[in-house]
């Protein structure tokens, strides 16, 4: 059941009860705002004033912070190191000579990290508060092709399914006496017995899913029924249009700043 729901965190909050397309529109609003707004702190303001309150309302703030930190930290470290030290013709901020942090590189790294955090946290907020099957049903009701909805659903499920399968393989190999801990060399020696079963099981899983969706007349044309009923509040269509107009406003604002530089 956990694999089927992907990253979804079960809950009864108001955010969980929102229509999936409403939350998807909010994600688009946040993404365009984070990528289009100029300045260093505007993206962080969007992160703390929009994403964090939405996560708190959905009661997934702790999970969101932990997951965002794990995903974004490697990117943030690489951006700070590469841009900070290798920025061409920058003003030294710390150190001297070739090995010095450049002020312009640090500004770029801070801005880029904020955008990375906004993108990652908005997608994770959506995944934590939206059932994948409900999203698929909502898209199908709006006439989205079944193949496209399946691709989106499979994308949301791929990481949890791989993680669960890898954990099962590790437990099975440990039961057979494989040592997965210890020194770095010993861990490297234990990678191959884990990778090969993971790849083979993934290929088998793809074939089984293909057979399952064909058995359910996935590609059959015509109207299909669903056991899931998607409800929405009366104000949600207006909220979606407001988010769309806000996203367009971000794009126009970005264009205006670009033309007036």
Both 54 and 67 in a single domain? yes
Both 217 and 241 in a single domain? no
pLDDT in tens, 135-166: 888 887 787 777 777 777 776 667 667 777 77
Q: How many domains does the chain have?
A: 2
Both 48 and 126 in a single domain? yes
Both 101 and 149 in a single domain? no
Integer Cα distance of 225 and 18 in angstroms: 21
pTM for the whole structure:
0.76
**Residue 136 is assigned to a structural domain of this protein:** no
**Residue 37 is assigned to a structural domain of this protein:** yes
Bridge partners for 102 per DSSP: 92
Both 167 and 218 in a single domain? yes
**Residue 2 is assigned to a structural domain of this protein:** no
Both 102 and 13 in a single domain? yes
Which residues constitute the domain of residue 65?
8-130+231-261
Whether the predicted pLDDT of 97 surpasses 90: no
Both 86 and 56 in a single domain? yes
pLDDT in tens, 209-227: 667 666 666 666 666 666 6
């Amino acid at each position: 059941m956990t694999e089927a729901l992907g990253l979804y965190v079960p809950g009864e909050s108001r955010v969980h009860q929102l229509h999936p397309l409403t939350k998807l529109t909010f994600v688009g609003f946040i993404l365009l705002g984070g990528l289009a707004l100029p300045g260093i702190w505007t993206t962080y303001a969007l992160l703390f004033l929009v994403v964090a309150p939405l996560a708190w309302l959905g009661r997934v703030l702790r999970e969101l912070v932990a997951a965002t930190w794990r995903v974004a930290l490697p990117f943030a470290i690489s951006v700070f190191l590469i841009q900070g030290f290798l920025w061409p013709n920058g003003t030294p901020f710390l150190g001297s000579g070739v090995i010095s942090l450049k002020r312009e590189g640090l500004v770029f790294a801070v801005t880029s990290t904020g955008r990375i955090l906004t993108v990652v946290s908005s997608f994770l907020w959506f995944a934590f508060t939206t059932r994948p099957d409900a999203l698929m049903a909502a898209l199908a009701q709006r006439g989205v092709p079944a193949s496209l909805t399946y691709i989106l659903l499979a994308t949301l499920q791929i990481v949890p399914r791989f993680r669960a399968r890898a954990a099962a393989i590790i437990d099975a190999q440990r039961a057979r006496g494989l040592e997965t801990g210890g020194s770095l060399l010993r861990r490297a020696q234990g990678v191959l017995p884990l990778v090969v079963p993971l790849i083979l099981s993934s290929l088998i899983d793809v074939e089984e899913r293909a057979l399952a969706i064909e058995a359910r007349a996935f590609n059959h044309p015509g109207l299909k029924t669903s056991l899931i009923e998607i409800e929405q509040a009366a104000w949600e269509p207006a909220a979606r249009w407001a988010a769309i107009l806000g996203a367009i406003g971000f794009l126009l604002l970005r264009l205006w700043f670009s033309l007036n530089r």
